[in-house]
């Protein structure tokens, strides 16, 4: 084992998450890297989530940390987890997500070989319990302009960072649901972000997950446009077009049904995107 053995803190926020949480905790406890603490921030669960965590805490008191109480949202809980964490390297893992068995070893070794790096991210496996699909989300090298105007190709479960990131960038903006995208942009304005060509986590999409919930696409489209403009992005950026387009789809859906989405995707979006690139607005 290398002499470089920093403590790694993994934050997981929970709220009535018992169904998948055992797999999440076991994936952290089962890491080949030894120096890990798992900080679990519960928002007041009533389904047995807290009791499950407490059983693990009794068995692994040096690895499992728990706090439970009301929070404003998941971003607020995430900030609380950062405040509790003692590690030099931090990461976030959803309560229904898991790591590869050597994920933390891979991350620590990357930081050891690249001591000036402060942010590492990689690929993520996506399991869709609804459709049965199993595919790999391939991360791309971080591009600030693309992250602001179109999409940030960093999967949160596959991102790890040194404590100085938080010390210099601050905490998550709890007014946002898409606080992670906003945060990666804030980080990317100050620090280089290092990509590793490895699958680091598995992210599960299911009927109960926030990211898979119906009726939130318009909300996230709006937030992503707000984030885009906050960081100096263009009106007719990918984020802007998706936001305006989501409103158009919502408006015409009662009349055209699925055809409204097809018309937007095949015709309206490409035309608006081309105009945005030409006009740079």
- Annotated domain spans of the chain: 8-205, 217-279
For residues 189 and 8, what is the distance between their CA atoms, to the nearest angstrom?
24
Q: Name the residue among 4, 56, 54 with its Cα closest to residue 29.
A: 56
Q: Euclidean distance between the first and final Cα of the chain, in Å?
A: 53
Report which of residues 128 and 84 the model is more confident about: 84
Helices (H) and strands (E) in the chain, counts: 11, 9
Mean pLDDT of 143-159: 96
pLDDT confidence of residue 274: 58
Report which of residues 251 and 76 the model is more confident about: 76
Q: What percent of the chain has pLDDT over 90?
A: 72
> Which CATH number does 8-205 carry?
3.90.550.10
Mean pLDDT of 118-127: 97
Per-residue pLDDT at 230 exceeds 60: yes
When the pLDDT of each residue in the chain is averaged and rounded to a whole number, the result is: 88
Mean pLDDT of 185-194: 98
pTM for this predicted structure: 0.86
Q: H/E element holding 248?
A: helix 238-256
Sign of the Cα pseudo-torsion (121, 211, 251, 230, in order): negative
Query: Which pLDDT band, with edges at 50, 70 and 90, does 215 fall under?
Result: very low
Residues 6+ apart with CB under 8 A from 218: 246, 247, 250
Q: Is 70 within 8 Å of 39 (Cβ atoms)?
A: no
CA angle 118, 8, 209 (to 5 degrees): 95
The CA-atom distances, in angstroms, between 124 and each of 8, 132, 168 are 19, 16, 27
- Tens-place pLDDT, residues 166-184: 999 999 999 998 899 999 9
The encoded tokens of residue 253 equal 């859906």
Mean pLDDT of 121-137: 89
Q: Is 93 within 8 Å of 8 (Cβ atoms)?
A: no
- Residue 174 CB burial class (10 angstroms; 0-12, 13-18, ≥19): middle
Please tell me the least confidently modeled range out of 28-32, 66-70, 246-250: 246-250
Q: Is 181 within 8 Å of 198 (Cβ atoms)?
A: no
pLDDT confidence of residue 39: 99
For residues 175 and 42, what is the distance between their CA atoms, to the nearest angstrom?
19
For residues 226 and 239, what is the distance between their CA atoms, to the nearest angstrom?
9
Q: What is the largest CA-CA distance in the chain?
A: 65
Mean pLDDT of 124-144: 90
Please tell me the least confidently modeled range out of 52-61, 93-102, 132-141: 132-141
pLDDT confidence of residue 212: 45
Q: Name the residue among 27, 39, 35 with its Cα closest to residue 101.
A: 27
pLDDT confidence of residue 128: 86
């Amino acid at each position: 084992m290398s002499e470089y053995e920093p403590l790694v803190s993994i934050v997981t926020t929970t709220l009535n998450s018992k169904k998948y949480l055992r797999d999440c905790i076991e994936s952290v406890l089962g890491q080949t890297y030894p120096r890990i603490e798992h900080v679990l921030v519960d928002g007041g669960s009533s389904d047995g989530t807290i009791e499950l965590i407490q059983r693990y805490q009794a068995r692994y008191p040096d690895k499992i940390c728990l706090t439970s109480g009301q929070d404003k949202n998941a971003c607020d809980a995430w900030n609380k987890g950062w405040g509790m964490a003692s590690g030099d390297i931090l990461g976030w893992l959803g309560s229904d997500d898991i790591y590869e068995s050597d994920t933390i070893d891979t991350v620590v070794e990357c930081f050891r070989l690249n001591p000036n790096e402060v942010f590492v991210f990689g690929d993520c496996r996506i399991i869709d319990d609804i459709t049965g699909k199993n595919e790999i989300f391939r991360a791309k090298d971080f591009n600030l302009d693309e992250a602001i105007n179109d999409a940030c190709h960093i999967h949160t479960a596959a991102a790890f960072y040194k404590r100085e990131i938080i010390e210099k960038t601050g905490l998550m903006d709890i007014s946002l649901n898409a606080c992670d995208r906003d945060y990666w942009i804030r980080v990317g304005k100050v620090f280089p972000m290092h990509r590793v060509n490895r699958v680091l986590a598995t992210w599960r999409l299911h009927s109960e997950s926030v990211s898979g919930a119906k009726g939130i696409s318009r909300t996230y489209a709006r937030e992503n446009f707000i984030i885009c403009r906050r960081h100096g992005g263009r009106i007719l950026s990918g984020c802007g077009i998706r936001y305006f387009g989501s409103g158009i789809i919502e408006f015409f859906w009662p009349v055209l049904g699925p055809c409204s989405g097809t018309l937007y995707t095949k015709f309206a979006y490409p035309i608006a995107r081309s105009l945005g690139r030409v006009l740079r607005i």
